[in-house]
Structure 1
Amino acid sequence: MGKRDAFSMRHPGIIGERKFRQYAVLIPMVRISGVTYLVFEKRSGNLRRQPGEICFPGGKLEPGETLQECAVRETVEELKVSPDQIEVLGPGDIYVSPFNLMIHPFIGFIRDYEDTFSTDEVAEIIKIPLSYFFSQSPEKYVSSLVSQPQEDFPYDWIPGGEKYPWVKGTYDILFYRYEGWILWGMTALIAKSAVNLICEYGLNIETDQNF
């Protein structure tokens, strides 16, 4: 294959991707008495970053591992399950944060889960019926993004100088409220995206006897 053919078939990269921190998470489903649940964690209050937040099991990509391997490894560590209990069904859609962060979700299920977790990282396990997300739309609020160059920015190099009309952006902040629990921010966005994929591809394990 020539270079031109190779170029025509290349997978596009993302400009500036190296500046983004790469994380992977598992969106775990479990089946209890015929009902499908999504499993979330409440992060330990002792953690330095985002203590007490509700999230999916996951963490930062380590050198030499794939994104799926990262999601499984972190789930094994945080939920105290064996890799044999986890079946990854496929990838979710990537969440790109405006704050130099990419999260790569994977949708899967955990067999014979007994509510175990690492107390070093997790304070509590939260199980929410999948049907809740089918019937409940999240509440949406909008936050603004404003470009603010550093003090030494060379305004004299650009048209308009300090009065240059910088483009302003926004991003959505979603909230789900379930029995006193609040899912919000990245977790809510990733959950909504995953539930849409579960519906689109018929991944509801209540209807699949293999689970």
Structure 2
Amino acid sequence: MFTDIQKRLAEREPKPLGKQRYFSVLLPIIMVAGVPNLLYEVRSQHISQPGETSFPGGAVEAGETYEAAAIRETMEELNLPFDCIHILGEMDYIVSDQVVIRSFVAELKDVQLEDIVCNEEVEEVFAIPLDYLLTHKPTYYTVSTKLEHPENFPYELIQGGEKYDWKSGHQAIAFYHLENHQLWGYTAGLTARFIELLKLENPIE
């Protein structure tokens, strides 16, 4: 029995508990006037979260790796060939009770910002110089969440009953204050984390 248990555990990849949906995004670095920039999308009006800023990305399909999903979604949304996307590595990722979002950093090779022709999911693209992000920190605003229980919740089955000390949740949401675009939430959080990682090493050349 123990050998069988060991075999089953060895054959699977550990995952977060729950019924999360799996997504992957790409943080694309593009050269603009000889300066490295992070590329962002503005979501079109006929998809979810219309008008919001995001990185290229989407749901991971069955049998697909997170990295392959990030590349595929970027190719589709920005109409780029595979050879233009040079993966530099994987960054930190997001886990919540609803989603898992893995993130990858890539260089867009031989791509001009003004030549990008987006598909119908993207309203426009814009770029922010890394130098700007390295010198302008986001502002964080904390929101709180509170558990609400249904009327038939079985308080009698837990120690303390209705007086049980439930923990409330707190989440810090990042906002970058830009003149012409919005940048907040998961996208801002991934941006801030990427910039933090750059600052941990020697200045980029």
* Smaller-chain TM-score bracket: 0.7 to 0.9
**1:14 Cα deviation (Å)?**
4.1
Counterpart residue number, 1:166:
166
CA deviations on 1:99-137 (whole Å, 9 max, x unpaired) are 411110000110122332334100010100111111011
Tell me if structure 1 keeps the 8 A contact 2:32–2:112: no
SS of the aligned residue for 2:147 comes to coil
**1:179 Cα deviation (Å)?**
2.5
**Residues 181, 169 of structure 1: CA spacing in aligned structure 2 closer, same or farther, 3 A cutoff?**
same
Tell me if structure 1 keeps the 8 A contact 2:25–2:57: yes
CA deviations on 1:164-211 (whole Å, 9 max, x unpaired) are 22111201011001223221011110111112223435694xx2xxxx
**Residues 15, 24 of structure 1: CA spacing in aligned structure 2 closer, same or farther, 3 A cutoff?**
closer
Paired with 1:81 and 1:192, the residues of 2 have a C-alpha distance of 26
Q: Which moved more, 1:148-157 or 1:172-181?
A: 148-157
Answer yes or no: is 1:103 the counterpart of 2:77: no
Answer yes or no: is 1:138 the counterpart of 2:138: yes
Gaps of 5+ in 2: none
- Name the count of aligned residue pairs: 201
Q: TM-score, normalised by structure 2?
A: 0.88
Tell me if structure 1 keeps the 8 A contact 2:79–2:119: no
Paired with 2:107 and 2:67, the residues of 1 have a C-alpha distance of 13
Any runs of at least 4 consecutive aligned residues in structure 1 with deviations exceeding 3 A, and if so which?
A: 2-7, 9-12, 198-204
Paired with 1:129 and 1:189, the residues of 2 have a C-alpha distance of 17
* Residues 50-129 of structure 1: pairs in structure 2 closer than 5 A: 50-97=49-96, 99-115=97-113, 116-129=116-129
CA deviations on 1:68-112 (whole Å, 9 max, x unpaired) are 000000000001100100000000101123x41111000011012
Tell me if structure 1 keeps the 8 A contact 2:31–2:112: no
**Residues 141, 129 of structure 1: CA spacing in aligned structure 2 closer, same or farther, 3 A cutoff?**
same
Answer yes or no: is 1:13 the counterpart of 2:11: no
Tell me if structure 1 keeps the 8 A contact 2:43–2:121: yes
Q: TM-score, normalised by structure 1?
A: 0.86
Paired with 2:146 and 2:24, the residues of 1 have a C-alpha distance of 28
Paired with 2:57 and 2:82, the residues of 1 have a C-alpha distance of 14
**1:152 Cα deviation (Å)?**
2.4
* Identity score, percent: 36
**1:11 Cα deviation (Å)?**
9.1
SS of the aligned residue for 1:176 comes to strand
